[in-house]
Amino acid sequence: MIGKVKYILILVLTIILADASAQNSQVMYFMNLPQNHLINPALRPSNSVYIGLPIMSGINLNMNNNYINFSDVLIKGQPKDSIISFLHPDYNVDKFLAKIRDKNSMESEFMVQLLGVGFSVGKDSYFFLDINERIESNLVLPGDLFKLALKGNEGFVGSKIDLSSLRADMKYYREFGAGFSRNFTDKLRIGIEGKLLFGITSASIDNKSLGITVNEDYSHTLDANLSVNMSGPVNVKMDSNHDITSIVFDDNTFKTSSGIADFFSGKKNLGIGMDIGATYDLTDRIIVSASITDLGFIRWTKDVTNLKANNKFEFSGLNMLDVLNGTKTIDELGKDMLDSLKNAFVVSNTKAPYTTYLPFGISFGGSYSVTKQFSVGLLSYSRIIGTQVREALTLSANINLGNSLSTTLSYTAENHQYDNLGAGLAFRAGTVQFYLVTDRIPVMWNRIKDDNTNIILPANWNTFNLRLGMNLVFGNRPKEKIDKPMILIE
């Protein structure tokens, strides 16, 4: 039982570290779903009215990373029917480090649709409203940081390691959106959505420069010019020299109903956003489209804490070898690192507001309607996070039988993986439409088996996306619009 728990914990850790580059499901785009306008506001479903109820209308979980798979974390050991993790002394560290990139990114997103409404006005116009609860995070780790941690500092003695690419950002916010789409000509349709954003809590790193020099005595000198900005219920305690002694969670905010309401309102951390998209009918069968989504920012002013590091200091270093050889635990190593890093930061008395920008997406695509019910599509999606660009290319085959049934199968090249299969299914029972969409279905699986464990895990899986929910849908658009080939590609 203990062995199984251990492997489940490692699995959960790997999923948490999995990165979410594509904010919205590419597969969902090819289906007859009201949520399509989240990817391109020019898209509209075949029903005349839809209502998305709180929580039930949509839950989206999205994770991925660009460098590690399950097969890199858990491998077969000796004897052959055993399994070892990346923390095992027999683990091939060099093989793992060969997969590490200069910039190793990890992202995650969780979104819940609190309310959704969409309705047609006349033959050409469609209006929609959204309220979404969103949690997003992204982290970029320099490759040399892994090498330093897993191989030790011997290979870096006398040299300086550049860690200026280190980046981290986490935010929890609420999104109110209102938009419409309209046919401006017989061939061109344009949609736009404006968003008002309410920030609840966030933390981000502003890294201007960061380097570690490994000295001849194997100590480390950290040369830093960076700041950590936080908005939330935390208390940073410091001594008379403004050096940090501890950072603790302030639970006083949640001891009263008014405090809880004020925290979750986000009314003091405001931002704006926008989506814009268009579709164009090249022929009766070919439709092309493009969109830009999540252009926006949030200005954080409530409960702001500014931590700044602009100096040099020595510390014992980050050495995972101590964990691998059993002289230290992960907890002890983490505590040592935190104790050292506290000396690098000072608390700013300014409590200066700061701004975070949303990762935004750019999509281009086209679809070919083989029949009125069957189409094939190609979608290119790029996600821009700061200076980093993540790209995905999706090929799909789609069947849409009006409001009754919508299904799709897809193949996506993304994250240096070329075996990503996706599928989606939506069906209507009376006025209720149920849907389930996933972009990444693992193709290869490994069996993990030893004396206490016998479980199956995906082999090459570094991206995960799942969206599910239900909508209340009513009516259809006028018949002449339904007979027209459906817009299925962004």
What is the domain-level CATH number for residue 172?
2.40.160
Q: Encode pLDDT of 389-426 as tens digits.
A: 888 889 999 998 877 899 999 988 876 667 778 899 99
CB neighbours of 360 closer than 8 A, spacing ≥ 6? 292, 293, 294, 295, 296, 383, 384
pLDDT at 17: 39
Contact, 411 vs 421, CB < 8 A? Answer: yes
In terms of Cβ atoms closer than 10 Å to its own Cβ (0-12, 13-18, 19+), residue 350 is exposed
Q: Which domain holds residue 362?
A: 2-482
Domain annotation covers residue 434 = yes
Cβ atoms within 10 Å, residue 452: 12
Domain annotation covers residue 490 = no
pLDDT at 116: 94
Q: Across the strands, what pairs with 356?
A: 298
Q: Encode pLDDT of 70-115 as tens digits.
A: 667 666 666 555 666 666 667 777 877 887 888 888 888 899 999 9
Domain annotation covers residue 395 = yes
- The Cβ-side half-sphere exposure at 52, using a 13 Å CA radius, reads 25
3-class SS at 15?
helix
Contact, 302 vs 51, CB < 8 A? Answer: no
Domain annotation covers residue 489 = no
pLDDT at 81: 54
Domain annotation covers residue 446 = yes
> Which parts of the chain sit beneath pLDDT 50?
1-23, 478-490
pLDDT at 10: 40
In terms of Cβ atoms closer than 10 Å to its own Cβ (0-12, 13-18, 19+), residue 151 is middle
Backbone angles phi, psi at 313, to 5 degrees: -155, 155
Domain annotation covers residue 310 = yes
Domain annotation covers residue 487 = no
Contact, 148 vs 318, CB < 8 A? Answer: yes
Domain annotation covers residue 488 = no
pLDDT at 370: 94
pLDDT at 14: 41
Report the domain count for the chain. Answer: 1
